[in-house]
Chains A and B, each alone.
Chain A
Amino acid sequence: MSILAPPFLQHAFLAGTAIAAACGLAGFFLVLRAQVFTGDALSHVAFTGALAALAAGIDLRLGLFVTTIAVAVGLGVLGTRGRADDVVIGNVFAWVLGIGVFFLTIYTTSRSSSNGTAGISVLFGSIFGLSSGQAVTAAAIGAGIVVVVAAISRPLLFASLDEGVAAARGVPVRALGIGFLAAVGATAAEATQAVGALLLLGLLAAPAATALLLTARPYLGLAISACLAVAEMWAGLGLAFAAPALPPSFAIIAVAAAAYLAVFAGSRLRRRTGSRAVAPATS
């Protein structure tokens, strides 16, 4: 990165770093708590929120954050102990997506001045299109999410690993679960601006899953997850800048998935060679 890099790339790096760090931290707990499907639902809800805001003619980010956080809290309240049943999640978000299509139609048909690509860029992101103001806001919000998740990480970790014991020790398990989902909602709204509503699940799940394969120690895993997410974001942005045919969202997800695949294959291989080494001793 030289100082001569074009402004759009500087904006992308600024916003991308904060977004990736937030996704890495929130995603780690999401995977640990086996709530990736909730993250998936929230990311799709982000699409509806953004399109509702566009159809109403207000700031897209307002719609994003209000919708995702509201649905996140709603799912948390509906479920027991701040976790919703996957059939309930499925029904709610399938319907919310349907409403999103409704707003998409309203937006594309009623506003003659609208650009037809707005729906597509909400779905797949446009990180190279961020203005400097948007990038600074995104970075600030991302930093805020990182601080919040880091602040609640100790009790949340306890509640995620052993819910019963944590509840017995007076940890407010339900409130934590709901608060955590609200943070995930904010992360989803934030990441929609970078990689889009459809792809942000990769940024939530892949670095966290990679970190969990690499270490069993929770705090180390949390740190690895955040660092991996940021590194993958940088590599993806660099790749997309070097090869303009690749959309940046694709490059970021491809790098994240490749890292996960490599570590996954490595752990399988190690387990196999490990068990082969053990086999002669036992037989």
Chain B
Amino acid sequence: MTGAGFSWNLLTDIREMWSFPFMVNAFRAGAIVAVVAGVMGWFMVLRRQSFAGHTLALAAFPGAAGATLIGISAAYGYFGCCMAAAVVIALATRHRGSAGSRATESALTGVVQAVTLACGLLFVALYRGFLNGTTALLFGSFLGITAGQVVLLAGAGLVVLAAAAVAGRPLLFASVDPGVARAQGIPVGALSAGFLVLLGAAVAETAQITGALLVFALLVMPAATAQRLTLRPLASLVLTAVIGWLVTWAGLFAAFYSPYPIGFYVTSFAFAAYLAAQLAAAARGRARRSPALAGAGVPA
């Protein structure tokens, strides 16, 4: 992607970039999906459900390919397939906590993932000749996002965020300590199934911009970074959304002025932020430990 060329005057660059309507749409859509994926990813990381999240994200591929095959709007395919995969995983892993359930749960998630991807391959093979489209489905493309799509993304994103806001407090409680939450009368099982469906909706939305394979980067990386930086729930939730937003916009910016794809930039920026947070946390831990040891003489 090249405009008139990159200059070190960033304001001029941004003005030039935003003179293209498709770039404005890309920035709007990017901001929406980054915030939605960040918020849902924050709960996903907290609940240690990365594998399920990744599997739901991959369901976007057969969804879009299948929709193209039968000739309906890809948006139906994205939402339908990701949320269907969420329901399957939620139903099959209802009995969490029993002996050996972690092994069966992860095996089952793996099988679901392989089947969805195999179906995607089948749809592509049956459709024939959308080979270039296949890479876009998997790795995303920020070109050709229409204003209508942005409105759809914003609407669906608002629904997901509203549901997350309503269920947020009990979901947080159930995620951190399911045993106590159950004893307090919180419907832990229903919450966890509902969470997976919401996560499915969020990844369906994100996959339309980032592609099925790279949704996971926006889900897990900003959340892991923020949770490393602060332990307070609300602060790290907000930080997650901000980090996701920033890396997505930075990725769009870099991709516009270079021949390399957006997925590469977004994942690299997000990973750099994660590494920085890890180092900062390690340094802070060391700094806190040494004065305590030196001052009071008590082991920390």
Contact = CB atoms under 8 A, between A and B. Distances in A.
Interface of A: 31-37, 39-40, 44, 86-87, 89-91, 94-95, 97-99, 101-102, 104-106, 109, 116-117, 119-120, 123-124, 198-199, 201-206, 208-209, 212, 245-247, 249-250, 253-254, 256-257, 260, 264
16 contacts: A33-B103, A34-B106, A35-B106, A37-B106, A40-B51, A90-B224, A91-B224, A99-B264, A105-B261, A120-B134, A202-B114, A212-B103, A253-B117, A254-B115, A260-B111, A264-B108
A253 B118 contact: yes
B118 A199 contact: yes
A124 B267 contact: no
Main secondary structure of the interface of A (DSSP, over half): helix
Contacts of A105: 259-261, 264
B259 A206 contact: no
Interface in B157-175: none
Nearest to A32: B103
Given A94-B214, A254-B115, 18 more contacts: A37-B54, A89-B50, A90-B224, A94-B216, A95-B267, A97-B213, A97-B263, A98-B268, A99-B268, A105-B259, A120-B134, A123-B138, A202-B115, A208-B107, A245-B125, A253-B115, A254-B118, A256-B111
Interface string B199-229: 0000000000000011011001100100000
A120 B108 CA distance: 26
Contacts of B122: 246-247, 250
A98 B135 contact: no
Contacts of A257: 111, 114-115, 118
Contacts of B108: 209, 264
Contacts of B51: 36-37, 40, 86
B50 A101 contact: no
Contacts of B134: 120
Contacts of B107: 31, 36, 205-206, 208-209, 212
Contact of B121 (A31, A203, A247): A247
A124 B123 CA distance: 13
A91 B114 contact: no
Given A39-B110, A120-B131, A245-B125, A31 B118 contact: no
B274 A91 contact: yes
Given A98-B217, A102-B261, A31 B268 contact: no
Contacts of A201: 110, 113-114
B64 to A, nearest CB: 15
A40 B126 CA distance: 26
Contact of A116 (B111, B131, B264, B274): B131
A221 to B, nearest CB: 12
A94 B106 contact: no
Contacts of B54: 37, 40, 90
B104 interface: yes
B160 to A, nearest CB: 21
B93 interface: no
Contacts of B22: none
A98 B267 contact: yes
B46 to A, nearest CB: 10
Interface in B51-66: 51, 54, 58
A87 to B, nearest CB: 5
Interface in B34-82: 45, 48, 50-51, 54, 58
B68 to A, nearest CB: 16
Interface string B261-273: 1011111101100
B146 to A, nearest CB: 24
B110 A202 contact: yes
Contacts of B103: 31-34, 212
B118 A202 contact: yes
Contact of A101 (B48, B114, B125, B264): B264
B188 to A, nearest CB: 20
B54 to A, nearest CB: 7
A235 to B, nearest CB: 14
Contacts of A247: 121-122, 125
A110 B260 CA distance: 12
B44 to A, nearest CB: 9
B109 interface: yes
B131 A206 contact: no
A256 to B, nearest CB: 8
A202 B110 CA distance: 6
A90 B50 contact: yes
A199 B267 contact: no
Interface in B263-300: 263-268, 270-271, 274
Nearest to B55: A40
Contact of A37 (B50, B259, B264): B50
Contacts of A34: 102-103, 106
